[in-house]
């Protein structure tokens, strides 16, 4: 990978000066969906696929970006002075946003950079290509400019930039999972206070298989922000009868006791998902610690059903993949992962059944949707690194 990047970098930006290569992973969330902005728990892990950057500092203030994934866009140029969001700057608004956020938080970035990016996370798949790029940028800046910043702060800056620069009201999960990834472990994160613990992913003879709908989506223009505001409305109604700061503070019983306070039925459904999904996530991690993979799989299925029926973020593509996955031999569980509205599902499958699983689910999906799904057998990897 280093040689491929170097060749492209020299072709685009010339061979002079010292370059460095960095990597940040993508992530998949095993359970705990749409809980992260509701003060609940999530259970994501970093992957071994991700985003690479070759970077060289400049003497002036120019930022020159080039992506091997979007070669037709060529070099996109900005400056570290007066960074603003521009539609025509396309994907570079993510790294630009992180540089802007660093400056807003008082970190000194005094020169520009030449950057070549390559990602092997499918774009728009829900495996967090944007958060991977944000955390990667923060990690690059920490290294190149010797910034006194830890990985949790880099995750928070990534979230801040996505919220305030790119206008997507995302929670902290994606950036946190990527920044804090640990090989063969998922992260049990309480998004209310950022307390976390690593939980070993011991799958014995089983594999994590990601199923990509190949339906492209963009978070900013999806119904993501709408779902978030429906949860905020539900919380606001509940606060008239119970003293809470977030939906994640409620047990299922407390929710059932107080749900009458939520005036709109649609908000009641959204809040029910947030509360029940948080409890499912807590139960799933306890099951994994006990080695009860069967229960973990059952909770994954319940999670998908709730995302389909109460949160209404799945759609025909994801529902088809999950329904077909659950018909296959050796499948413990399957659910949509990420924001929904397309993107990916995740399943846990017996290793010896993986090939048949991919073939059968792929065939059924293509027959129903008219186009193919993609499948990735993934490993759980570490957070960002210098290569």
Give Rg (Cα) of the chain. 21
Residues with a known catalytic role:
174
- For 141, counting Cβ atoms within 10 Å of its Cβ (0-12 exposed, 13-18 middle, 19+ buried), the class is buried
Instruction: Give the number of other CB atoms < 10 A from CB of residue 60.
Output: 9
Calpha distance 171→175 (Å, rounded): 9
Structure tokens at 116: 């070549």
Instruction: Give the Cα separation of 335 and 358 in Å (integer).
Output: 15
Query: Distance between CA atoms of 341 and 41, rounded to whole angstroms?
Result: 22
């Amino acid at each position: 990978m280093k040689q491929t990047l170097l060749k492209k970098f020299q072709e685009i930006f010339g061979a002079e000066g010292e370059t460095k290569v960095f990597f940040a992973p993508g992530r998949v969330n095993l359970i705990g969906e749409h809980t992260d902005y509701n003060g609940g728990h999530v259970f994501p892990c970093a992957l071994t696929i991700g985003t690479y950057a070759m970077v060289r500092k400049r003497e002036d203030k120019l930022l020159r970006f080039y992506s091997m994934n979007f070669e037709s866009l060529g070099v996109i140029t900005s400056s570290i002075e007066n960074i603003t969001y521009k539609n025509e700057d396309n994907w570079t608004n993510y790294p630009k946003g992180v540089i802007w956020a660093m400056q807003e938080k008082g970190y000194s970035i005094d020169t520009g950079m030449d950057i070549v990016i390559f990602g092997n996370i499918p774009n728009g798949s829900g495996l967090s290509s944007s958060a991977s790029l944000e955390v990667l940028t923060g990690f690059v800046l920490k290294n190149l400019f010797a910034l006194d910043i830890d990985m949790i702060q880099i995750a928070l800056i990534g979230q801040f930039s996505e919220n305030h620069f790119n206008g997507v009201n995302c929670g902290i999960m994606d950036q946190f999972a990527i920044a804090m990834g640990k090989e063969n472990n998922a992260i049990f994160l309480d998004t209310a206070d950022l307390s976390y613990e690593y939980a070993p992913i011991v799958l014995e003879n089983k594999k994590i298989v990601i199923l990509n709908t190949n339906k492209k989506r963009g978070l900013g223009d999806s119904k993501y922000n709408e779902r978030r505001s429906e949860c905020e409305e539900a919380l606001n109604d509940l606060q008239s009868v119970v003293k809470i700061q977030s939906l994640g503070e409620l047990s299922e019983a407390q929710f059932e006791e107080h749900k009458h306070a939520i005036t709109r039925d649609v908000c009641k459904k959204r809040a029910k998902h947030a509360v029940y999904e948080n409890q499912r996530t807590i139960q799933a991690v306890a099951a994994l610690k006990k080695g009860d993979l069967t229960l973990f799989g059952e909770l994954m299925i319940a999670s998908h059903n709730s995302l389909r029926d109460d949160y209404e973020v799945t759609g025909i593509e994801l529902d088809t993949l999950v329904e077909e996955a659950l018909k296959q031999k050796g499948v413990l569980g399957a659910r949509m992962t990420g924001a929904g509205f397309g993107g990916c599902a995740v399943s846990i499958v017996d290793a010896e059944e993986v090939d048949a699983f991919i073939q059968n689910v792929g065939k059924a999906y293509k027959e129903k949707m008219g186009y193919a799904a993609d499948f990735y057998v993934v490993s759980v990897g570490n957070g960002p690194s210098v290569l």
